[in-house]
Amino acid sequence: MSLSNTFLENIIRLSKEEIIPYSSFSNKKSLLDLDGFGIIIDKSIKPYSIVLSDLEYLLATINAKYKYDFNNIEQIKEYLNKVTKGELSRDEVIEHRTTTKDKESKSFSGLKINCIKNITIKLNNKNEILKPMNGSCLFVFYKESLTIDVNVTLVGVENPQVLWYIKRYAHLFDNSKEYLFILVKDQNNYFYEWIKTIKNDYIHFGDFDISGVSIFVNEVLPKLHNKINSSFLIPENIQLAFKKKGSREIFNRQEKFLNSLNVCTDKKIISLLELIKNEKKGLEQEFFGLNR
């Protein structure tokens, strides 16, 4: 798999601190794969836009995932210039992209975490203070050891955008408690390996639609058998939020998956599903971070 010349040209534009429309990227799959790995899909306003958060992180991800060997923007420019002028043969293009090992890299296998106020974590058996990060997060490599106090509530987040700007959602959580926010949906499954090692309470903070509930019920919940308590976050003003910003398009796209949730017995989730069905709408979690 490779990135198109246009995709690489957009990366050059991002390096100049340009904000690029989501529509400028034709390869949405690659864009979504890179979301949170140096670039951010800003969904706070429509139309969505793409911004650069960490160029070094982005280039390292591209090299690991797509087998390029770019150390800086100038090398991308040089590569595109040679391709445009026909100075690189097909074999040379392939050679340029395979300077790293041709196997799936685990360079970015690990945990992405954030917080809304300072908390103590234990990293490699050493106490560290995790501070809130705005527009970024802490990446914990899979070979490193991460443990947290049993009184810290673990909050699983589906969307990278929400994790990067988690302080926008602080009003949804009890200020007297400590929370560790962690990305659930990612390019690797290390989250599910790590979560088996802890016994903290777990809150799932996902989208308020059929897909969001399904991820919790069918993917996450079965792996939380050793948790003291687990729940799906449902804000108190969820009904008003549905009427104000709920999307029928989301519901219509996901309605066919409703039957997969018939086995759910959680009363709060059943109540949320009834709201979704009655309103025939879905609501993205980003709504609760707007104007915060």
Record the tokens describing residue 104, joined without a space.
């799936």
pTM: 0.66
**Which is nearest to 160 in space by CA: 195, 114, 193, 118?**
114
3-state secondary structure the chain: CCCCHHHHHHHHHHHCCCCEEHHHCCCHHHHHHHECCCEEEECCCCCCEEEECCHHHHHHHHHHHHCCCCCCHHHHHHHHHHHHCCCCCHHHHHHHHCCCCCCCCCCCCEEEEECCCCEEEEECCEEEEECCCCCCCEEEECCCCEEECCCCEEEEECCHHHHHCHHHHHHHCCCCCCEEEEECCCCCCHHHHHHCCCCCCEEEECCECHHHHHHHHHHHHHHCCCCCCEEECCCCCHHHHHHHHCEHHHHHHHHHHHHHHCCCCCHHHHHHHHHHHHHCCEECHHHHHCCC
Percent of the chain with pLDDT over 70: 86
Interval 128-134 mean pLDDT: 92
Q: What is the per-residue pLDDT across 161-199, written as a single tens digit (0 to 9) for each?
A: 889 899 999 999 999 999 999 998 664 567 888 888 888
Q: Which pLDDT does position 125 carry in this prediction? A: 87
Q: Which pLDDT does position 159 carry in this prediction? A: 82
Record the tokens describing residue 162, joined without a space.
């929400």
**Position 229, amino acid:** N
Domain positions in the chain are 5-97, 110-289
Report the range out of 13-17, 54-58, 133-137 with the highest average pLDDT.
Answer: 13-17
CA separation, residue 189 to residues 47, 112, 160, 186, 254 (Å): 31, 12, 15, 7, 24
Instruction: Decide which of 201 and 260 is more confident.
Output: 201
Q: What is the per-residue pLDDT across 42-69, written as a single tens digit (0 to 9) for each?
A: 776 678 889 887 787 788 778 777 778 8
Q: Which residues of 243-266 are buried (b: 16+ CB within 10 A; e: fewer)?
A: eeebbeebbeebeeeeeebeebeb
Residue 104 pLDDT > 50: no
Interval 244-256 mean pLDDT: 89
Residue 37 pLDDT > 50: yes
Residue 102: pLDDT band by 50, 70, 90 thresholds?
A: very low
Residue 129: pLDDT band by 50, 70, 90 thresholds?
A: very high
Instruction: Decide which of 214 and 45 is more confident.
Output: 214
Instruction: Measure CA 240 to chain center.
Output: 26
Report the range out of 16-25, 115-124, 141-150, 261-270 with the highest average pLDDT.
Answer: 115-124
Residue 91: pLDDT band by 50, 70, 90 thresholds?
A: very low
CATH number of 110-289: 3.40.1360.10
